[in-house]
């Protein structure tokens, strides 16, 4: 695998191999082992045209824990504000020596353009493109589910029969898209729950069931409830029930959390709108894996960088 652009490109074996590799990386990610020399002499460029906290920092940590050099590029404050194109920006950074480019961009498809255009000779990782995909988020989510469900016996396993409900702003969510493809590949049963205005019409072609009633979904006692951020920055007024209505009908509040089985996982990719799609009580409850997801992101991103840049095809 030269690039990671979409979870739809991953076979079940490839996905499980990546999750197992992340298990191997976990001791380094959590600092029980200080660093691996695997990517010494390699350079990873974090090319971020959109804001990020978790993804950018964890890719930086992941690269450093594999002994790579890291260049962090943020479009804000760069020559992008003078009109420099994606091609010229990427080629400028590649000319300084980039073996891997981790790109986040507001345009869906920008990572694929970078990977397939021939502009640069580097492995490309999609760190979130518009409303399209966020493959490393889905991998870290699957890794988190697998660890909670199987503990130390996770290796080699998929998520067969695990019932996952993804709730909220599916329309704008690259996290939802990447999760749908990966979870289906790993054998999970995925349901989407959202207001009709926040569901894309293309869900009829996705391997999911679709509903509008969060209370009915909760009554089915799912294994996982994954809440999504309301992406107000990508909306206009027509998309959105009022915040109060959204919170009342589709928010995971304390009372709904109390109705979930004690071992149901409550996930959120972050950043969270506390009080809108998720209450503080739900976000901070023992069921919540929000911070586990963040920590697991380092292991997953180490696995991805290792896989793409070490020259190993394991």
Binding site for ligand CP (CB under 6 A): 52-55, 128, 134, 137, 269-271
Please name every residue paired with 125 in a beta bridge, in sequence order, or none if there are none: 4, 102
Least Å from the CB of residue 53 to ligand CP: 4
End-to-end CA distance of the chain: 10
Least Å from the CB of residue 55 to ligand CP: 3
What is the Cα Rg of the chain in Å?
A: 19
Q: Which is nearer to ligand CP, 90 or 300 (CB)?
A: 300
Least Å from the CB of residue 58 to ligand CP: 8
Distance CA 302, CA 288 (A): 24
Distance CA 216, CA 72 (A): 45
Q: Which is nearer to ligand CP, 50 or 189 (CB)?
A: 50
308: left (phi over 0), alpha (psi -120 to 50) or beta: alpha
91 known member of a binding site: no
Q: Which is nearer to ligand CP, 229 or 287 (CB)?
A: 229
Q: Give, to the nearest 10 degrees, the angle between helix 12-29 and helix 174-185.
A: 110
Query: Strand order of the sheet with strand 189-193?
Result: 209-211, 189-193, 163-167, 224-227, 265-267
244 known member of a binding site: no
Least Å from the CB of residue 64 to ligand CP: 17
34 known member of a binding site: no
Distance CA 184, CA 203 (A): 13
56 known member of a binding site: no
Q: Which is nearer to ligand CP, 52 or 285 (CB)?
A: 52
Distance CA 307, CA 178 (A): 19
Q: Which is nearer to ligand CP, 109 or 211 (CB)?
A: 109
Least Å from the CB of residue 283 to ligand CP: 14
Q: Give, to the nearest 10 degrees, the angle between helix 54-65 and helix 290-309.
A: 50
54 known member of a binding site: yes
Q: Which is nearer to ligand CP, 52 or 264 (CB)?
A: 52
Least Å from the CB of residue 54 to ligand CP: 4
Binding residues for carbamoyl phosphate: 54-55, 104, 134, 137, 270-271
Q: Which residues are annotated as a binding site for L-aspartate?
A: 82, 174, 229
Binding-site residue positions: 54-55, 82, 104, 134, 137, 174, 229, 270-271
């Amino acid at each position: 695998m030269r690039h990671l652009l979409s979870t739809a490109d991953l076979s079940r074996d490839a996905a499980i191999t990546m999750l197992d590799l992340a298990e191997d990386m976990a001791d380094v990610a959590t600092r029980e082992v200080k660093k691996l020399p695997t990517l010494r002499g390699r350079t990873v460029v974090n090319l971020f045209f959109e804001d990020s906290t978790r993804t950018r920092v964890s890719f930086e940590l992941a690269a450093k824990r594999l002994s790579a050099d890291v260049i962090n590029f943020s479009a804000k404050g760069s020559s992008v504000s003078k009109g420099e194109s994606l091609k010229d920006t990427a080629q400028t950074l590649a000319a300084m020596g980039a073996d891997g480019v981790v790109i986040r961009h507001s345009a869906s498809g920008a990572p694929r353009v970078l990977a397939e255009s021939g502009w640069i000779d580097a492995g490309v990782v999609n760190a979130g493109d518009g409303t399209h995909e966020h493959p490393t988020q889905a991998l870290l989510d699957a890794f988190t589910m697998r660890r909670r469900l199987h503990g130390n016996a996770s290796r080699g396993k998929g998520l067969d029969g695990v019932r996952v409900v993804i709730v909220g702003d599916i329309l704008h969510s690259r996290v939802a898209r990447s999760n749908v493809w990966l979870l289906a590949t790993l054998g999970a049963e995925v349901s989407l729950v959202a207001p009709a205005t926040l569901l894309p019409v293309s869900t009829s072609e996705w391997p999911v069931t679709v509903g509008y009633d969060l209370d009915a979904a909760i009554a089915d006692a799912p294994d996982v409830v994954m809440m999504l951020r309301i992406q107000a920055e990508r909306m206009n007024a027509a998309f959105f029930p009022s915040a109060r209505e959204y919170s009342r009908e589709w928010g995971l509040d304390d009372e709904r959390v109390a109705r979930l089985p004690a071992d149901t996982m409550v996930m959120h990719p972050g950043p969270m709108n506390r009080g809108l799609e998720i209450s503080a009580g739900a976000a901070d409850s023992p069921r919540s894996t929000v911070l586990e997801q963040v920590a697991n992101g380092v292991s997953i991103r180490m696995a991805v960088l290792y896989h793409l840049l070490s020259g190993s095809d394991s």
